[in-house]
Amino acid sequence: MIDALGSVGSLLLVGGTSDIAVATAHRYLRERPLRVVVAARDTPRRAAVADQLSAAGGSVEVVDFDADDPGSPERMLARVAAGGDVDVALVAFGQLGNAEQLRSDAAAVAQLARVNYVVPTVVGTVLAEHMRRQGHGVIVALSSVAGERPRASNFVYGSTKAGLDAFYSGLSDSLAGSGVSVLVVRPGFVRSKMTAGMPDAPLATTPEAVAEAIVSGIRRGRHTVWVPGAMRVVMSVLRHVPRPVFRRLPI
C-alpha cells in the first residue's frame, strides 16, 4: 500500500533494465527498503540490475517479460500478483528505433509500433484490471515529448509515443473512482542507454531527474509530469509554431 505519507511498499518495473526505471527504484530505495519486481528479458544486464537493487536494500524479484512475446504481459502479471499487491507499476520498456531504417522499412515500422505502442496498451490493460481489483495502485507510463508534435527526424518513434500517451491519458480517466491512478511522464532528451552516443538536445536531462519527477508526481497525485518542468512550456509553444517554421527548427 502507498501509505499516509506517500511511501511505497512495492514497485513493479516493466522493462526493468531501463535506465529510467532503475533510477526510479534507487530513488525510492533511498527513502526506505521496498519490494522491487524487475520484469525484463533475460539478459546479463537484468541480473546486474537485480544485484544492484538488492545491494541498495530492495527485496528484489526477477520476472520474465518480453514485448516480442504476445503471452508475456499476462504471464508476467500473474507471477507478480502471486507475491502481493503492486503499489506502483512503471511501464518503461521501449525502443528508439533507427530513424534512417524506419523511413523505408515497413516491417521495422510495424515492429517499433508493436513494442512502443501495442504492447504498452496490452500491459496497461492487464495492469489496470489487476489494480482495479486491488482497489489501489498507480500506473506510470513513460511517454515522451516526441509524441507531442512528431518531427520529421523521428516521427515513427514520435507517433508511437503519441499513441501511448493518448492511451494512458484515456485510461487515467476511465479509472476515476476505482482507487487506481495513472501518471503520464513526458521527458525530453534523457541521457540513457537509449540515447547513448547521441549529442544532447536542448534541455537534456538525466534518468535521475526523471525519477525525481516520477516520485514527486506520485506523492502529489499528479496525472502528467514533464521533465524538465520547462518542457511543458516549450512544447506548448512548439505545438503552435506554423508547419513551415517547425520543419526547419534544429530539434
Ligand X SMILES: NC(=O)c1ccc[n+]([C@@H]2O[C@H](COP(=O)([O-])OP(=O)(O)OC[C@H]3O[C@@H](n4cnc5c(N)ncnc54)[C@H](OP(=O)(O)O)[C@@H]3O)[C@@H](O)[C@H]2O)c1
- Amino acid, res. 185: V
Residues 23, 108, 122, 134: which binds another protein (CB under 8 A)?
134
Among 32, 103, 223, 239, binds another protein (CB under 8 A): 32
Phi/psi at 139 (nearest 5 deg)? -105, 125
How many CA atoms are closer than 13 Å to the CA of 195, on its beta-carbon side?
17
Distance separating the N- and C-terminal Cα atoms of the chain: 41
For ligand X, the closer of residues 154 and 178 by Cβ is 154
CB 15 within 8 A of CB 4: no
Question: Minimum distance between the CB of residue 172 and another protein, rounded to whole angstroms?
Answer: 16
Does residue 20 touch ligand X according to CB under 6 A? yes
When asked if residue 93 is in the footprint of ligand X (CB under 6 A), the reply is yes
Options 86, 92, 183, 214; binder of ligand X; rule CB under 6 A: 92
DSSP 182: E
Subset of residues 166 to 195 that bind another protein, contact rule: CB under 8 A:
177-179
For the bound state, the minimum distance from the C-beta of residue 177 to ligand X, rounded and expressed in Å, comes to 28
Which single residue is written with the C-alpha cell 504471464?
75
Q: Is 157 a catalytic residue?
A: yes
DSSP codes joined into one string, 120-163: HHHHHHHHHHHHHHHT-EEEEEE--GGGTS--GGGHHHHHHHHH
Interface residues toward ligand X, by CB under 6 A = 15, 17-20, 40-41, 43, 45, 65-68, 92-95, 115, 142, 144, 187, 189-190, 192-195, 207
Interface residues toward another protein, by CB under 8 A = 1-7, 9, 31-33, 84-85, 132-136, 177-179, 216, 219
